[in-house]
Chains A and B, each alone.
Chain A
Amino acid sequence: MEMDGRAIKSVLVIMVSFLLAAPAASDAAEKVTLSLDDCIRMAVKNSPNIKAAEFEAEVYRGKKAQADAARLPQVEILAVGSASPRARLKPGSSSESETNINRSSFDGVFGRADVQLIQPLYTFGKIDSYRSAGEHGVKAYEAGARLKATEVAMLVREAYYGLLLGRELKGLLSEIKESLDKATDKVRDQLEAEAPGADQVDLFKLQTYQGELDKYVAMADEGVEKAYYGLRVLTGIPEDQDFDIADEFLTPAEYGAEDFTAYRSAALSQRLEFLQLREGLIAKKALIDVEKADYYPQFFLAAFYSVAGASNRDHVNNSYIYDDFNHTNGGAVLGFKWALDFGINAGQVREARAEYMKLKMEQMYAKEGVPFQVKEASLKLTESEREMKALSGAYKNAKQWLVTSMANFDLGVGEARDIADSVSAYARLRADYFRAVYNQRMAIANVEHVTGKDADGIPYAVNKAPFEAYGDEPEKCEEKGSR
């Protein structure tokens, strides 16, 4: 008995130990709650579009690095080796050879090394212009990356507010559906009970509204799902990670709108496109100077040294005779290089000037087009705020209509169909009001975007070392880039 008791106890202890030691069931990833700022932060961090723009800037960093290094000496080493033809001096001679070169006389080997060092001295501004083009090209593309970040932020806002709108509409529709279903059931009961005042028209009207409501519920469901998934894709949240947004309700924004003149002025000075164009024009101007510099010689200092030795050739000690296979010589020179042509360089200058002018025209177009964009956005903001105010008033009136129709029905002095009509008006206006609030939110975001005011508010700094995340191996780049 005692043994059995001990044995049972042991088994129990072992079982408990197993239970305690067993790895906990993997916790489902905890649900994360994200504010709008969180979503924007994550989206700009994950956006492949922004990364592409960062690598464009990196291209120009590479070009600038080349231009910077062009000021420094360049060393070229050439080493060759092969079979060498026999060459023997006649005895007693320092220059006459006995060699007859034919196939059988390639019975030795030679090796040769040439070293050349060139230090540019003066290039008529070519190197400095290249450096300037690289430097301003980097700035232009960095502005491009920041611009991409603002565009990504706009998409996030659209999805975030879209989700809020969808949920508000769903909430409104569920409220109404619940009431409508109860009302329909009650009218049906009254008709069955042959209650005085019960009218089949009321039932048909309610059932018609029920059908219409089901359609709107389906639309709202689709809207919510689309916005939610859009937010997931933009922020890069994995499929198995549950998340929700921090805001519960879609409410109007408190925003002090400015007048059009202030917005236009802000746009012309703050829009990142203008920064891109300014930097781009400086870079293009520098490239014109690069091409023009080719009209002139490039002065340099060069040093060279050449050594060669062959196993089957005598060394010739004669300043007038040079043996490619067997020699030692070197020196330093001052020189210039000048390539003359009959139109090629002129064509290159023309091409560079045309590139510059093309960008200049784009700048002029932007100066005309951007104010129009700003005007459009400013008007849209005004319109959305007026619409919101009007619908707020209309929706309050619909509420009053609903209050009176319900109060009258409660005392038997009003018709059920009046309630149905007032509910329909209330629902429609309330839904329109939510849409107006969404429009106001997006109109504000758009005004901030077209005036360039949004750029500083976005939690994004250009990554000036984009390769750090990927290293130098393209396979790793693809793996890390995929979500």
Chain B
Amino acid sequence: MMMGGLRLMAAAVAAFVLVSVPVAAHAGAPTDRVRLAADKVISILKDPAMKGKAKEQERRAQIKKAVFAVFGFDEMAKRSLGQYWRQRTDAERKEFTDLYSDLLERSYINRIESYSNEKIVYGAEKVDADFAEVPSKFITKRNEEIAVNYKLMSKDGSWYVYDMVIENVSLVNNYRIQFNKIIRSSSYEELVRKMKNKRESDALAAPGADSGK
């Protein structure tokens, strides 16, 4: 469901597409990682050769590659499932992670494409061993400020986003609560069924999708 016009959920990922204000001198690798991805996506969106309906799939593929290379979906999925991750088999974990990342990618790419030069201001990053936090403020055309903080962890020499805190709402914490509720009241299988239904629903309603009628 496209609520991108409200600029809230998409603000998190939109950090990668916006015109970034130069970061203060204390910015380091985590902030740079976020900004590099942002610059890459800006260039894709602004590229005249990538504009238009005909180029939609290729454009989305490139954005996905640029943006989601910095997302640690394994870690995000694991943290979101919380205590129930331990009980899952390897195959279930892979299935869950694929579902999770697929749904997030689909939603956010839709929103990224609707952006147009809103501003983002990065704050001072905090690094503690293998963990970092990059605060930012997203400023809409209506002069509304939205706080988006990125939580990153270092793995194999690179930084990856494992959580986004939007207006003090941690996505990972929120999902953990929701998933726990569904698993406790119903089952893990019910959770997966809901997520699969959503994926199918999105695919059916996507532009150019065959509705089967």
Chain A interfacial positions (CB closer than 8 Å to B)? 168, 171-172, 175-176, 178-179, 182-183, 186-187, 189-190, 192-198, 248-249, 251, 396, 399-400, 402-404, 406-414, 416, 419, 423, 426
Contacts and interface: CB of A to CB of B under 8 A. Distances in A.
Contacts of B169: 400, 403-404, 407
A445 to B, nearest CB: 22
Contacts of B146: 399
Interface in B173-213: 174-175, 178-179, 182, 191, 194-201, 204-205, 209, 211-213
Given A249-B142, A407-B175, 11 more contacts: A172-B142, A179-B3, A183-B1, A193-B205, A193-B209, A197-B198, A402-B6, A404-B174, A412-B195, A413-B175, A413-B182
Contact of A411 (B6, B175, B209, B212): B175
Contacts of B143: 248-249, 251
23 contacts: A179-B4, A182-B2, A189-B205, A189-B211, A190-B204, A193-B211, A194-B211, A196-B197, A197-B194, A197-B201, A198-B201, A249-B143, A402-B8, A406-B8, A407-B169, A407-B174, A411-B100, A411-B175, A411-B178, A411-B198, A412-B196, A412-B201, A413-B195
Contact of B103 (A175, A179, A410, A423): A410
Contact of A412 (B2, B3, B198): B198
Interface residues of B, number: 41
A176 B195 contact: no
Contacts of B178: 408, 411, 413-414
Contacts of A198: 201
Nearest to A414: B178
Interface of B: 1-9, 100, 103-104, 107, 142-143, 146, 166-169, 171, 174-175, 178-179, 182, 191, 194-201, 204-205, 209, 211-213
Nearest to B11: A403
B191 A413 contact: yes
Nearest to B192: A412
Nearest to A408: B178
Nearest to A187: B1
A421 to B, nearest CB: 12
A195 B103 contact: no
Given A190-B204, A396-B167, A178 B1 contact: no
Given A193-B204, A193-B205, A407 B9 contact: yes
